[in-house]
Structure 1
């Protein structure tokens, strides 16, 4: 298991982190986004969309639950579980997005992922928190299969430290 930290002094840095993820993630990537309200989860997903070449504005799917953006390098599936109870989350059947059985393989970004009971072992965790020195801090975690990906993502012009 690898863990990397990235300081994000402003929304632009958060979007740049997303942009790198959008550029480098492969089909079938699942991103488990966590953090309190206002930490920048949607801003990060907007950056992912830019990295994928999606021109359509990306907004939070708080009320629609899942937004699909299909015109980029890969499809982007943006899920927001904020308004759901755990029993409602189970009924979404998100497995069809991460196993490719219901949707073309792409990037699945799940906000409020801590409400999930089940998710793929290969998922990348990304937690956004307030940084005591100002701005935000992203903590990215992944199994061995994605450590090299995370090194590329955080190593390009962003301050990163491997924990």
Structure 2
């Protein structure tokens, strides 16, 4: 799975590309309709991809993304000072527990081109030139993957 996000002053998008060992490549484009930063948009893209992978009952997953900070946070290599990013990282950790095998690695932007071109179109909500309903799914996302109210969320987490 490849993931990426695009953040500009006027639009925000996320893209996910699933590349199976056998079968067709599946592309997802998401226009994110809420306030976000570059880093949280990358986390949103990763989480949206993990949700789609789970729907396909995939148990072994290799993830690639060009957001080195996010990849290193998920791998536990970087400390996280920002509370929101810590919640995103923890939410990713919760999702990856469902996999029998999981790895994530950072790639250079030029090696992430399948997802990179798609995310710009998603952010603008303009169909990709190769768009067909058989090759892409485009979706509007109106809610964050993690709750905005951290205090309420932490109470719920402590009740588990």
Common fold: TM-score over 0.5: no
**Rg larger in 1 or in 2?**
2
TM superposition score normalised by structure 2:
0.33
TM superposition score normalised by structure 1:
0.32
Structure whose residues are more often helix by fraction: 2
